Chains A and B, each alone.
Chain A
Amino acid sequence: MVKYIAKRFAQSILTLFIIITIVFSLLRLMPDEGYLGAAAEKMSPEQQEIYLTNLGLRDPLLVQLKNFYVNLIQGDLGKSITYRTDVPVLDIIQDKMMYSILFGLGAVALSLLVGVPLGILMAQFKGRWLDRLGTGYIVIVVAVPAMVYFLMIQMYISEWFNLPMLFDEYNPRSFILPLICLALGPIASYAMWMRRYMVDELNKDYIKLARAKGVTERTIMFRHVMRNAFIPMAQYLPATILFTITGSIYIESLFSIPGMGGLLVDAIQRQDNNVVQGLVLVFSSLGIIGLILGDLLMAIVDPRIKLGKGDSVR
C-alpha cells in the first residue's frame, strides 16, 4: 500500500511538471496587447517595450521557466499582474477557495442526503408513482439547461419566499438559494446512479437466495444491496468533494459569491500568467489527488480489490 502510494505520487509530480510547463509556454504565446490593458493605445512602442521588459516577458522562455520553478520550489507562486495587481497569487486563491469549499461541501452533503435516499426509494418502489416522480425530476434537471432553472429560481423563488437574490455573508438566508441550485444537479445524478446500481443488485442471485432464506427486506436492503450499490459511487466521491474547491462558475456569478468559479476564465481573459499558472497547478493537483483517493477508498470499501499488484483499479 505505502509503496503503491509512493509510486503514484512520483508519477503525479511528473504529470504536474509536464502540465505546468506546457501551460507556461502556451501563455507566453499570448499577444502583448493583453498585458498593456487600456494604455495599449496610448503608449509609444518604446514605452510598451520597457513596460513588457519590466514584466519579465522579454526574457528568453527558458530563463522565465527557470525563474518560475525556482520560486515554486520556495513556495512562491508569484504576484498577480492584471487580475489584482501585486497581490500574491496564493492569497487570491486562498480567499476565494474558502467560499467555494463552503458552498461545495454544503452542496455535496445536501445532494448525498437527498439524492441517495431518493435513489434507494425509487429502486424500492420501482415503477410506482414515487419512481415516476423521481424519474421526471431527473429528466427535467438533465434536459433543461441549468441556466434556465437557476435564473427562474433566482427571479421567482426569491420573490415567493422573500429570499435575497444575492449572496451576503452576514445574512444566513442568502445561503439557501445558491445551495439549492448547486445541489439540484448532483441530487439527480446520485439518485439516478443509486437507483440503477440498486436495481442491478436487487436482481442478483444472492438476493433471491437471501429472500428465500427469509432474511428481512430491511436487512437485505441495508446489509447487502446498499453497500454493494455504493461501491461504484465511492470511487468518485473524493474527486467530487475536492472539485468543490474550483467552485461553480455560473452559480457563483449569478448569486455574487466571491468564490473560485470563473477565476480561471477571468485570469485567462486578463492574461494574468501568474494566476493562471497557480490555478492550473492547484486544479491539476486536485484532479490527481482525487483519483488516488478514489482508488484507495475503493480498496477500503471493496475487500476484493488489492492495490499495488496491478496498480490502479482502472
Chain B
Amino acid sequence: MKKTLLALLCMFVLVLAACGDSSDSGETSEYRTVYSGEIKTLNYLKTAETNEFALSANLVEGLIEYDQYGVVKPGLAESWESNEDATVWTFKLRDDVKWVDHEGKDVENVVAQDFVDGLNYVLDAKNESSTAWIATVVKNGDAFYNGEVTDFSQVGIKAIDETTLEYTLEAPTPYFLSMLNYVCFFPVNGEFLAEKGDAFGTTRENILYNGAYILDKFEPQNERVLVKNDEYWDKETVKIDRIRYKYNKEAATVAPELFLRDEIDGALIPTSILDEWLNSDDKKDLVRQNTNNFYTYFYALNFDPQYDAEYEPENWKVAVNNKDFRKSLYHALDRVSAMLTIEPYNPQDLLSNTITPKNFVDVEGVDYTMLEPLKAITETDSFNKDLALEHKEAALAALAGKATFPVKVLLPYNSGSPEWANRSQVVEQQLENLLGADYIDVELYAGPATGFLGEVRRPGKFSMIEANWGPDFADPSTYTDPFTEGGTYNKPEMAEGYNSEYNKLVEAAKAEVNPAVRYELFAKAEAFLIEEAFVIPYAVGGGGYTASKLNPFESQYSPFGVTSEKFKGQSILEKPMSNEEFKSAKEAWEKERAEALANTSN
C-alpha cells in the first residue's frame, strides 16, 4: 500500500526534473540484463526449470562445483572419498560456511544434517519436488518416494557428525559426484524449513543463503537484484558486486536496443536483426556467437507407429524395419540446410554426428566421441548423396512386393515453434528431391503447441520426428535413456532382428565401474544405434548470437546441473567481446581444457 501511495505521489507530481540515476558508479561492478521468463519459485528443492536453477545456483551452494574447464572442485565439501564399487561416498564439509538471511545476517553454520534435511524434503512425495527422480539414486530413495519405506533413516544418507556426510547408493555410481551439481542434493536448514512450512521459497525472506549472492530485491515481473554475500566462504572469487534483472515481456525485442543505449550489459541478438548488426560498422564488433549447450537433437525413426490409417502406419513399419531404407534416410538428410533455419551464418557449428555431444565426458583426456567405434561416426558427415541413392536402390529391391512405394513418412512438428515448422518444410522438400517422390512421400503434420510430447511423441503418432534430450550427470548413460527398453521415444526394441542388442550393451556398460572400459561399452552401444540408423543425430542446442560484457569462458563449465549458471568467477568486460575475440578465446580455452583434463584423472 505504501508503495502504491508513493507511486501515486510520483505520478501526480510528475516532476520533469531528471531523477538521479540509481546505478552506482565506480566502486561497485554491476551486471544488468532484461529477461522475459519469470521464475515461479525460490524453492530450489522443488524446481526443475533452467531459469530457476540459474538463480538458485547463485544463492545456495552444494557440495561440489566445477572450474572453468569442467574439472570437479570442492564446494561446501572440502574433500571426499568413495569405496571400491562407488556405492558409499563420504564427504568432509568446511566448518566455516554460514547460512545468512535476506539481510545478510548470520543465522547458523551449514552442517551435515542440512543435507539430510534437504534430501528428506525432496524425497517426500507430498512436497511435489520436480527433481526427486534424480535423488532416487540413493539407497531406498525410490522406495521412500513411493511410500514403501516410511522411515527416512532407512534412506542412504547419514550425518555422521557436524562435518561428515555419508551417502549410500542403490547401485555402483562412479559419476555420483556430478549428480551433486543438482539442486535436489543442496542443503537446507531444517529448523528454518519447518518454521516456514509451505511458504518456504515464496519470497526472498523465506529462504536462507549460503552462496555467493543474496537476493536483495525480488519482485516478480518487475525486477530482481542480487548482491554479493559478504559471509560467503569464497568471496574473493566473486567479482561482480551486483546483478540486476529487469523484467520485460518483450525482452527479446527491446534488449538489443537497451544494450546499444548502455542500459543493460547483455542481450541476445535474434537472427532477424543479426544482418543489420553484422553489416553496421558501429555494431558488428559488439556481437558474438553463443556457446553451445548439451541438449542433443536428433531425428528418431519410429518402430511402433500408432497413427491414423490414412498415413499408412503398417507400410511404414515394413519399410523402417529394412536397414537399407533407414540408411537411405540417414544419408539423405542434409543437416546443414535444415540448420540454416536456426543459424544462417555458422550452421556447421551446431551440427553433431553423435547422440552424446563433444566435450561432454572424456577418458584420460580423450573425448568420449573420439573413442572407438564412435570415432569414425564423429569424423564423417552423415549426409552423402551417393550412399543415400545406393541404399535407396537396395531398399527398393529388398522391399519389392512387401512395401508400397512411395512410403508415406509422417513428420509432425510443434506448431508453436515457427523455426521448427520451417525446418520441417525444408526437410520434406530436401528428402523428397534427393530420394525422389516415387520413393518417399513426407507428410507434414502441425502438432499442438501445448502438450505436444504427450499428444504426439509419446503415443507414437509419427514415422520420423525431431526430438531432443538433455543430460543429467557426467556419464554417457544419461544419453541412453530415450532408447533403452521402456523409453518413450521411438521404441527401437521393436525393430526386427534387434534382439535387445542395444540394451545388452548399455546394461554391460552400466555394470562396469572402470571408466575406460565403461565408456568404450557405451561408445559401442551408441555406435550400434547410429550405425543401424535407428536415429539420425543432428545438432546440439544453444548457439545463437549475443552482445554481452561477460566472458563465457570464465564461467564454471558443466554440461548439466546448475554450477554453469554461477556468476562467481566472472567479471564484467570493458567492452563486449567481438566474434573474432570469441573464436580465439574459444580456441585457447579448448587447449587449456585438454591440458586440465589430462592433468586430472577424473
Q: Please pick, from B48, B200, B248, B453, the residue contacting A256 in the complex, using a CB distance under 8 A.
A: B248
What residue in chain B is nearest A170 (Cβ atoms)?
A: B22
Complex CA gap A166/B16 in Å reads 16
A85: chain B residues at CB < 8 Å are 40-41, 43, 46-47, 201-202
Whether A39 and B133, one on each chain, are in contact in the complex, defined by CB atoms closer than 8 angstroms, is yes
Min CB distance, B9 to chain A, in Å?
8
Min CB distance, A170 to chain B, in Å?
7
Whether A54 and B125, one on each chain, are in contact in the complex, defined by CB atoms closer than 8 angstroms, is yes
Return the CB mask of B63-74 against A: 1 if under 8 Å, else 0: 000000000000
Complex CA gap A166/B33 in Å reads 12
Return the CB mask of A148-185 against B: 1 if under 8 Å, else 0: 00000011000000100110111111011001000000
Whether B130 and A36, one on each chain, are in contact in the complex, defined by CB atoms closer than 8 angstroms, is yes
Whether B130 and A37, one on each chain, are in contact in the complex, defined by CB atoms closer than 8 angstroms, is yes
CB of B380 within 8 Å of the partner chain: no
B48: chain A residues at CB < 8 Å are 37-39, 42
B145: chain A residues at CB < 8 Å are 47, 50
- Interface SS of chain B: loop
A169: chain B residues at CB < 8 Å are 3, 6-7, 10, 222
CB of A195 within 8 Å of the partner chain: no
Given A84-B220, A85-B40, the answer on whether A42 and B133 have CB atoms closer than 8 Å is yes
Q: Please pick, from A54, A106, A262, A269, the residue contacting B11 in the complex, using a CB distance under 8 A.
A: A106
Whether B198 and A258, one on each chain, are in contact in the complex, defined by CB atoms closer than 8 angstroms, is no
Considering only residues 1-17 of chain B, those with a C-beta below 8 Å from chain A are: 1, 3-4, 6-8, 10-11, 13-16
Whether B249 and A253, one on each chain, are in contact in the complex, defined by CB atoms closer than 8 angstroms, is yes
Which of B54-62, B250-258, B313-321, B400-408 sits within the interface?
Answer: B250-258
Q: Please pick, from A41, A99, A155, A269, the residue contacting B453 in the complex, using a CB distance under 8 A.
A: A41
Min CB distance, B225 to chain A, in Å?
12
Whether A84 and B125, one on each chain, are in contact in the complex, defined by CB atoms closer than 8 angstroms, is no
Complex CA gap A131/B300 in Å reads 65
Complex CA gap A269/B200 in Å reads 24
Given A46-B146, A85-B41, A86-B202, the answer on whether A102 and B128 have CB atoms closer than 8 Å is no
Complex CA gap A230/B375 in Å reads 81
What residue in chain A is nearest B455 (Cβ atoms)?
A: A31
CB of B199 within 8 Å of the partner chain: yes
A86: chain B residues at CB < 8 Å are 41, 43, 198-202
A43: chain B residues at CB < 8 Å are 130, 132-133
Q: Please pick, from A44, A175, A253, the residue contacting B10 in the complex, using a CB distance under 8 A.
A: A175
Given A42-B48, A47-B132, the answer on whether A84 and B41 have CB atoms closer than 8 Å is yes
Q: Please pick, from A42, A83, A175, the residue contacting B472 in the complex, using a CB distance under 8 A.
A: A42
B11: chain A residues at CB < 8 Å are 102, 106, 172, 175, 179
Complex CA gap A171/B199 in Å reads 31
CB of A32 within 8 Å of the partner chain: yes
Q: Please pick, from A82, A173, A176, A253, the residue contacting B40 in the complex, using a CB distance under 8 A.
A: A82
Q: Please pick, from A33, A34, A84, A155, the residue contacting B257 in the complex, using a CB distance under 8 A.
A: A155
Whether B453 and A40, one on each chain, are in contact in the complex, defined by CB atoms closer than 8 angstroms, is yes
Complex CA gap A210/B292 in Å reads 80
Min CB distance, B424 to chain A, in Å?
21
Return the CB mask of A108-124 against B: 1 if under 8 Å, else 0: 00000000000000000
B19: chain A residues at CB < 8 Å are 170-173
Min CB distance, B195 to chain A, in Å?
15
CB of B397 within 8 Å of the partner chain: no
Complex CA gap A176/B13 in Å reads 11
Whether A165 and B40, one on each chain, are in contact in the complex, defined by CB atoms closer than 8 angstroms, is no
What residue in chain B is nearest A79 (Cβ atoms)?
A: B198
Complex CA gap A86/B220 in Å reads 14
Complex CA gap A262/B249 in Å reads 10
Given A31-B454, A172-B15, A175-B10, the answer on whether A165 and B263 have CB atoms closer than 8 Å is yes
Return the CB mask of A258-269 against B: 1 if under 8 Å, else 0: 100010001001
CB of B50 within 8 Å of the partner chain: yes
B47: chain A residues at CB < 8 Å are 85
CB of B445 within 8 Å of the partner chain: no
A38: chain B residues at CB < 8 Å are 48-50, 130
CB of B381 within 8 Å of the partner chain: no
A283: chain B residues at CB < 8 Å are none
Complex CA gap A262/B199 in Å reads 25
CB of B501 within 8 Å of the partner chain: no
Whether B40 and A33, one on each chain, are in contact in the complex, defined by CB atoms closer than 8 angstroms, is no
CB of A254 within 8 Å of the partner chain: yes
Complex CA gap A38/B199 in Å reads 22
Complex CA gap A87/B450 in Å reads 25
Complex CA gap A266/B261 in Å reads 30
User: 17 additional contacts, CB 8 Å, given A33-B451, A102-B7?
Assistant: A43-B130, A43-B132, A50-B146, A54-B128, A55-B128, A83-B40, A85-B40, A85-B202, A86-B200, A86-B201, A166-B263, A169-B6, A170-B22, A175-B7, A253-B250, A256-B222, A258-B247
**What would 22 A/B residue contacts be, using CB atoms closer than 8 Å?**
A33-B450, A33-B451, A38-B49, A38-B50, A39-B133, A43-B132, A44-B133, A54-B128, A55-B128, A82-B40, A96-B221, A102-B8, A155-B257, A162-B18, A165-B254, A166-B248, A169-B6, A170-B10, A171-B19, A172-B10, A172-B11, A256-B247
